C-alpha cells in the first residue's frame, strides 16, 4: 500500500517536474561566467588623451565659464572698492567734441558724399565711352588718394577735432576707400566683358539700361551693366555690410521685426557696457601702468601688462560681438541684405593664417578678390602676395591709430607684420590644441602691449614725463 501510494505519489510528481522544467531554462555553464567575472580590463585610452576620441567637454566648458565669471567679478569688485564709480556717460560726449559748436568729424563724414557722387559720374562717363579707360584710371587714382589724404590734413590742421572723433571719421573714409576700389574694379570687369561680347559677335551691341531676368514674378529681378550706375544702387552699396561690390546682391524676402528689435537692444546695451568697462576697468589700469614705464621697472611692467590683458581682451570680445554680430546683422536686416557671413569659427583657429581668414570675412573677401588674386594673375609668388596683404593690413591699422593721435610710432604696423613670422612658427611647429593656444595667447597678450606703448607715447608727447 505504501509502495503503491509511493508509486502513485511518484507518478503524480513527474508532471510537476516536467512543468517546472518547461518554465525554467537549464542553468548556464558556470565556466564562461566565471571567466567574464575574472576579466574587467581592456585596451583603452584615458578620456583626456587625444587618442581616446572623446570630445564631449561640456562640463569642463561650463566650469571654465563659471571660473571666468567669478574671477572677473572679484576683479570688478576690487576695482569698485579701490576707485569708486567712474562711469560717466556725459564724458563720452567730450571725447567727440571739444567745442559744442564745432562738429569737424561729422562734417568730414558728410563731405565723403563728394567722392561717392564723383565716382558715380565717372563710371557713367566710362560706360558711355565719353572718358577713355586710361583717363578714368588716372581720375580714380586721384579720388582714392584724396580719400586717404584729405582726412589726414583735416586732423592735423583742425585743432577742435578729438582723437576719438578722428578715429570715427578715418574709419568711415577707410571703408569708403575699400568700397569705391571694389566699385571701380567690378564696373571695369563689366566693361571688359561687354567688349569681349561685342568682339565675339563682330558687331556693335547695344546694352539696355536695365535688363530684368526672366522667371516667375516672385523671383528677384536682376540688373545688367550699365543699369547699375544709379544713385540708389551706389548708396545701397555704401550702407550695405560688405566691402565687395556686386550688381545684384542676394536679398532676403522680408524684414524680420523681432530679429531687428533683438539686434537693436543688443547694440544699445552692449554699447553702454563697453563704455562702462572702459571707464571703470581699462582707464585706471592704463593710468597705473605709466609710472612703471617711466621708471623702466620691467617686473612691474609685466605685472601691469598681464593685469591689463584681462579687461582688454574681454572688451575686445564684447566689441567683436557688438560689431560683427549685432550691428552688422541689424544693418543687413534693415537693408534685406542676404549674405550674413560676417565671421566664421575663428575661435577654433589652429594657425594664425586661419584666424586672419575667418574673424573678419568682409575684409578677407575684399583682400582675396581685389588684392591677392590680381597679384597672383600677374605672376607674383604666393608668399609675396600673402606678405603684401599683411603689409596693406598693417598700413591701415597704423593709419587708424597714428593719425588720430597725431604721432607716428609704428607699433600697430610692426605688430601686424610680426604676424608673418608668428604664422610661420605656429604653422611649422605647433598643431591642434597647441596651435589654438598659441593663437589665443597672441591675441590676449599682443593687444595690451600695443595699447600701453601708444598710451605711454601719447602722454609723454602731450603731457610731459612728469605726468
Q: Does the structure show a pLDDT above 90 at 181?
A: yes
Q: Which CA distances in Å does 41 have to 35, 44, 51?
A: 12, 9, 18
For residue 313, which phi and psi values (nearest 5 degrees)? Answer: -70, -40
**Would you say 337 and 346 are in contact if contact means Cβ atoms under 8 Å apart?**
no
pLDDT band at 41 (very low <50, low <70, confident <90, very high): confident
* Number of neighbours of residue 403 by Cβ within 10 angstroms: 21
pLDDT single digits (tens) 322-353: 999 999 999 999 999 989 999 998 998 989 99
Q: What is the pTM of this model?
A: 0.80
Per-chain mean pLDDT for the chain: 82
Sequence-distant (6+) residues with CB within 8 A of 145 are none
Q: What is the pLDDT of residue 29?
A: 57
Provide mean pLDDT across the span 163-191: 93
Share of the chain above pLDDT 70, in %: 83
pLDDT single digits (tens) 88-127: 666 666 666 666 556 788 889 999 999 999 999 999 999 9
Q: What is the pLDDT of residue 148?
A: 93
Q: Where are the alpha helices (DSSP H) in 85-162?
A: 89-96, 104-110, 113-128, 133-157
Which of 371, 373, 427 has the alpha carbon at shortest distance from 395?
371
Would you state the cell numbers that stand for residue 440, as one nine-digit string?
589665443
Catalytic residue among 41, 364, 397, 456: 397
pLDDT single digits (tens) 56-79: 777 877 888 888 788 777 777 877
- CA separation for the pair 100, 93 (Å, rounded): 9
Residue with cell 554680430: 325
Beta bridge pairs of residue 94: none
24 is catalytic: no
Q: What is the pLDDT of residue 465?
A: 53
- The lowest-confidence range among 4-13, 179-188, 222-231, 285-294 is 4-13
Provide mean pLDDT across the span 127-143: 92
pLDDT band at 358 (very low <50, low <70, confident <90, very high): very high
* Number of neighbours of residue 82 by Cβ within 10 angstroms: 8
Q: Does the structure show a pLDDT above 70 at 136?
A: yes
Amino acid at each position: 500500500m505504501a509502495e503503491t501510494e509511493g508509486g502513485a505519489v511518484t507518478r503524480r510528481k513527474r508532471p510537476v517536474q516536467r512543468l517546472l522544467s518547461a518554465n525554467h531554462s537549464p542553468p548556464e555553464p558556470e565556466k564562461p561566467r566565471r571567466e567574464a567575472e575574472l576579466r574587467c580590463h581592456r585596451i583603452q585610452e584615458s578620456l583626456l588623451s587625444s587618442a581616446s576620441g572623446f570630445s564631449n567637454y561640456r562640463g569642463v566648458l561650463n566650469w571654465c565659464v563659471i571660473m571666468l565669471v567669478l574671477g572677473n567679478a572679484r576683479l570688478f569688485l576690487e576695482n569698485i572698492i579701490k576707485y569708486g564709480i567712474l562711469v560717466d556717460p556725459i564724458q563720452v560726449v567730450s571725447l567727440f567734441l571739444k567745442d559744442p559748436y564745432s562738429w569737424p568729424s561729422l562734417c568730414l563724414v558728410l563731405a565723403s558724399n563728394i567722392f561717392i557722387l564723383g565716382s558715380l559720374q565717372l563710371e557713367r562717363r566710362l560706360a558711355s565711352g565719353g572718358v577713355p579707360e586710361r583717363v578714368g584710371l588716372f581720375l580714380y587714382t586721384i579720388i582714392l588718394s584724396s580719400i586717404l589724404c584729405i582726412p589726414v590734413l583735416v586732423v592735423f590742421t583742425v585743432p577742435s577735432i578729438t582723437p576719438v572723433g578722428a578715429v570715427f571719421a578715418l574709419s568711415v573714409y577707410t571703408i569708403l576707400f575699400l568700397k569705391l576700389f571694389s566699385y571701380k574694379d567690378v564696373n571695369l570687369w563689366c566693361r571688359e566683358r561687354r567688349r569681349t561680347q561685342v568682339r565675339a559677335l563682330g558687331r556693335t551691341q547695344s546694352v539696355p539700361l536695365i535688363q530684368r531676368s526672366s522667371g516667375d514674378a516672385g523671383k528677384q529681378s536682376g540688373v545688367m551693366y550699365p543699369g547699375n550706375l544709379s544713385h540708389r544702387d551706389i548708396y545701397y552699396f555704401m550702407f550695405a555690410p560688405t566691402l565687395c561690390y556686386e550688381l545684384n546682391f542676394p536679398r532676403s524676402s522680408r524684414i524680420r521685426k523681432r530679429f531687428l528689435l533683438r539686434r537693436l537692444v543688443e547694440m544699445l546695451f552692449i554699447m553702454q557696457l563697453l563704455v562702462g568697462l572702459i571707464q571703470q576697468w581699462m582707464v585706471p589700469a592704463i593710468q597705473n601702468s605709466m609710472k612703471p614705464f617711466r621708471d623702466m621697472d620691467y617686473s612691474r611692467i609685466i605685472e601691469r601688462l598681464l593685469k591689463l590683458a584681462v579687461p582688454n581682451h574681454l572688451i575686445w570680445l564684447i566689441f567683436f560681438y557688438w560689431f560683427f554680430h549685432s550691428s552688422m546683422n541689424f544693418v543687413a536686416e534693415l537693408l534685406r541684405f542676404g549674405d550674413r557671413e560676417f565671421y566664421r569659427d575663428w575661435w577654433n583657429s589652429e594657425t594664425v593664417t586661419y584666424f586672419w581668414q575667418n574673424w573678419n570675412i568682409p575684409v578677407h573677401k575684399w583682400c582675396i578678390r581685389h588684392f591677392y588674386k590680381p597679384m597672383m594673375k600677374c605672376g607674383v609668388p604666393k608668399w609675396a602676395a600673402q606678405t603684401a596683404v599683411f603689409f596693406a593690413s598693417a598700413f591701415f591699422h597704423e593709419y587708424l591709430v597714428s593719425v588720430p593721435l597725431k604721432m607716428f610710432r609704428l607699433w600697430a604696423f610692426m605688430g601686424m607684420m610680426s604676424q608673418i613670422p608668428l604664422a610661420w612658427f605656429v604653422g611649422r611647429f605647433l598643431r591642434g590644441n597647441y596651435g589654438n593656444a598659441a593663437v589665443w595667447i597672441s591675441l590676449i597678450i599682443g593687444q595690451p602691449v600695443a595699447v600701453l606703448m601708444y598710451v605711454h607715447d601719447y602722454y609723454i608727447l602731450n603731457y610731459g614725463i612728469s605726468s
